Amino acid sequence: MMDRYSKLQMVGIYAALAVFLTFILLPFFEMFMASLRPLEHLFRSPYQFWSDDFSFQAYKDMWVTVPLLGRYIFNSIFIATSVTLITMFFVVPAAYAFARLQFPFKNITLGIFLGVNMFTGAVLLIPLYRVLRTLGLLNTYWAMIVPGVAFLIPTGIWLLRSYLEKIPRELEEAAFVDGASRMYTLRRVVLPLAVPGLIVVSVAVFIGAYAQQFLFAITFNQTRELQPLPAGLFEFIGYQSVTWNEMMAAALVGVLPVMLIFLFLQKYLVAGLTAGAVKE
């Protein structure tokens, strides 16, 4: 009863939703449309909304125009996967400690981790550039993996901690009473129970790692073969003319992996990510 809308209200809601979603989806729609137009048509002015020469040719040609495109996509996935695995290696124990254990300076430590979020890459680029140069890591995969891990650890800890807090304590206490060591309890009791949370947090970290590569790539890496897709895409501009249609096609193909993962897991992801916003 309370939730029922009049016809007019319904129309209003759908109209507002249409405007909102148009704003959100317009760039994707236009990218897709551009990818379908032959280059000659693309460079026709004034803008034409429709034409009859749409084709998927750009999705074939893009691999020729930028021969390393496949490599860039692989690099993006490889870097994001490495970042995810390494990040989780650090995040799992730390998140457990913050969720369950009492230790000195716990709150200050947690605060420091979250404070890291304030210094996004750009502020630390200068010294990081020098540190990576000293360590000989510039122009390697590591130059893009290591900073990526550092900036995702805080988010990871935050997300996994709130998940772990929801697992009932009794099971751990039971294991404890049975004489299991702390490490054994963590490995054999807590982690198996936390698998859904671990998956959600890993996927969130992966999406973050996939998304953040541009800055690290253009700053710390000059080796073309190692470039991830967001940086590699700009090669479509570097050639004699800008092959916009192929660039859009490549961009859309490049977001496909994350979009697919996201679509399958979106329900859990959104619930996990926004857990902090919902009052218990």
Of 45 and 240, nearer to another protein (C-beta) is 45
Question: Which residues in the 32-61 window bind another protein by CB under 8 A?
Answer: 34, 42-49
81 in contact with another protein (CB under 8 A): no
150 in contact with another protein (CB under 8 A): yes
CB atoms within 10 A of CB 73: 18
In the chain, where does DSSP find H-type helix?
7-36, 39-42, 57-65, 69-100, 106-116, 121-134, 141-164, 169-177, 182-184, 191-193, 195-211, 213-220, 229-232, 235-238, 244-273
Scanning 26-34, 55-63, 164-172, 192-200 for contacts with another protein by CB under 8 A, the matching segment is 26-34
Question: Which residues in the 229-258 window bind another protein by CB under 8 A?
Answer: 229-231, 233, 244, 247-248, 251, 254-255, 258
Which of 146, 189, 194, 200 forms a contact with another protein (CB under 8 A)? 146
200 in contact with another protein (CB under 8 A): no
Number of residues that bind another protein (CB under 8 A): 101
As measured in angstroms, the least distance from the Cβ of 225 to another protein is 19
120 in contact with another protein (CB under 8 A): yes
210 in contact with another protein (CB under 8 A): yes
Of 66 and 258, nearer to another protein (C-beta) is 258
Which of 66, 72, 75, 113 forms a contact with another protein (CB under 8 A)? 113
194 in contact with another protein (CB under 8 A): no
Q: Quick one: angle between helices 195-211 and 213-220, nearest 10?
A: 50
As measured in angstroms, the least distance from the Cβ of 163 to another protein is 15
Residues ≥6 apart with Cβ < 8 Å to 81: 206
Name the amino acid, one letter, at 205.
V
Question: Which residues in the 156-185 window bind another protein by CB under 8 A?
Answer: 157, 176, 179, 182
**Dist. CA 163–CA 268, nearest whole Å:** 12
24 in contact with another protein (CB under 8 A): yes
Cβ atoms of residues 201 and 159 within 8 Å: yes
**Dist. CA 252–CA 247, nearest whole Å:** 9
11 in contact with another protein (CB under 8 A): no
Within 13 Å, how many C-alpha atoms sit on residue 138's CB side?
A: 14
Which of 40, 103, 108, 195 forms a contact with another protein (CB under 8 A)? 103
Scanning 21-29, 65-73, 163-171, 188-196 for contacts with another protein by CB under 8 A, the matching segment is 21-29
**Dist. CA 15–CA 17, nearest whole Å:** 5
**Dist. CA 159–CA 274, nearest whole Å:** 9
